[in-house]
Amino acid sequence: MGLFDTVHCEYPLPDARHQGLEYQTKDLECLLDNYTITRDGRLVRHASRFGGGPGHDIEWPLHGDISIYTSVKGEDPRWVEYVVRFTHGRVEWVRPLPEGGRTGDTATLDWDLFPPAKQEPAESKTSTARDAEESLLQSLRRARPELEKLLTSCSDHWGYEDPVYRFYHQSFKVYGLQHVTRSIVQKLQALAPDLPLNPWFLQIVEAGTGKAFRQEDNARWTEMTRPILEAFFHARFFLEMAVRYANTETPPQMLPSGYAALLYLFDLR
């Protein structure tokens, strides 16, 4: 008998009678883990395998479809199955599988038989987001040589070790990191010129660039220079993730954390 995972669905189901049922799925990791689809459409894996309590639960950034199923006991036992579509970690829709259907048959279903209520604007937006994500992946593949070269330059002795050392040495040379940070941000923005970068990221970059060293900065050294390091670290992180996932051919269903962070950078999550 194959393994499965257990799913509790707080997200509203088409049939309210099925809301409190315990479902199984074979579309996740099949390690007898417990998952919850939250009311706001997130998929959360509970921490039974890892120890700890609810505070250690992990949000699972799924991108694709899963089938959840159970049987309703009674005088006339019935098989209940739903297909749940996640788009970049959020439920897009939930639709019933016809009674008598089987898990794995979802690709052949005629979904026009089960139109989701008032979903057209959301689906239109999702289609646009998917197009933007595929365009981003194409840009990553084209730009990979340049991105790798830049990552190498800000990962070697003079581009990485020495600037961090200069912070602790209280040397004005740490201010030189601002130029590197700006170069990285320009490369990242060039990947998708029509997409705005994450406002938190831009706030961090703004706080850590545009500074000129003054003698009085020595009296407030960490206050003045820590934002420079923070901006560099965030920019370098996204550059590293861009290189790491540059060969991704199609949007993955299970989002690695670094890839999901890239989507956040370009406001695609």
* Sequential pLDDT tens for the chain (269 residues): 468 899 999 999 998 889 999 999 998 888 889 999 999 999 999 866 544 445 578 888 888 889 999 988 765 568 899 999 998 889 999 999 865 454 444 443 343 433 443 443 444 445 677 888 999 999 999 999 999 999 999 999 999 999 999 999 999 999 999 999 999 999 999 999 999 999 999 999 999 999 999 999 999 999 999 999 999 999 999 999 999 999 998 888 778 889 999 999 998 88
- Listed residues 117, 147, 179: the one ending a domain: 117
Closest CA to 3 of 37, 20, 27: 27
Q: In this structure, are 138 and 257 located in the same domain?
A: yes
8 A C-beta contact, residue 61 and residue 87? no
Domain that holds residue 50: 5-117
The answer to whether the predicted template modeling score (pTM) of the entire model surpasses 0.85 is no
Radius of gyration from C-alpha coordinates of the chain: 24
β-bridge mates for residue 93, sequence order? 85
Q: Tell me the CB-side half-sphere exposure of residue 15, using CA atoms within 13 A.
A: 12
Q: In this structure, are 86 and 153 located in the same domain?
A: no
Cα–Cα distance, 16 to 9 (Å, whole number): 11
Q: In this structure, are 199 and 140 located in the same domain?
A: yes
Cα–Cα distance, 21 to 44 (Å, whole number): 17
Q: In this structure, are 57 and 166 located in the same domain?
A: no
Q: In this structure, are 137 and 164 located in the same domain?
A: yes
Could you tell me if residue 181 is inside a domain?
yes
- Listed residues 95, 117, 139: the one ending a domain: 117
Q: In this structure, are 162 and 251 located in the same domain?
A: yes
Q: In this structure, are 133 and 251 located in the same domain?
A: yes
Q: In this structure, are 236 and 137 located in the same domain?
A: yes
- Listed residues 60, 93, 117: the one ending a domain: 117
Cα–Cα distance, 61 to 269 (Å, whole number): 10
- Dig out the tokens for 190 from the structure: 């060039």
Closest CA to 251 of 93, 131, 124: 131
Helix (H) or strand (E) holding 205: helix 199-207
Q: In this structure, are 204 and 247 located in the same domain?
A: yes
DSSP string covering 238-261: HHHHHHHTTT--S--SB--HHHHH
Q: In this structure, are 80 and 176 located in the same domain?
A: no
Closest CA to 23 of 9, 33, 3, 12: 9
Q: In this structure, are 221 and 255 located in the same domain?
A: yes
Could you tell me if residue 149 is inside a domain?
yes
Q: In this structure, are 92 and 162 located in the same domain?
A: no
Please identify which residue in the block is written with the tokens 């340049």.
146
Cα–Cα distance, 231 to 180 (Å, whole number): 10
Could you tell me if residue 201 is inside a domain?
yes
Could you tell me if residue 67 is inside a domain?
yes
Cα–Cα distance, 156 to 37 (Å, whole number): 44
Could you tell me if residue 122 is inside a domain?
no
Cα–Cα distance, 248 to 15 (Å, whole number): 38
Domain count, the chain: 2
Classified as helix, coil or strand, 21 is coil
Could you tell me if residue 153 is inside a domain?
yes
Alpha helices in 27-176 (DSSP H): 120-153, 162-168
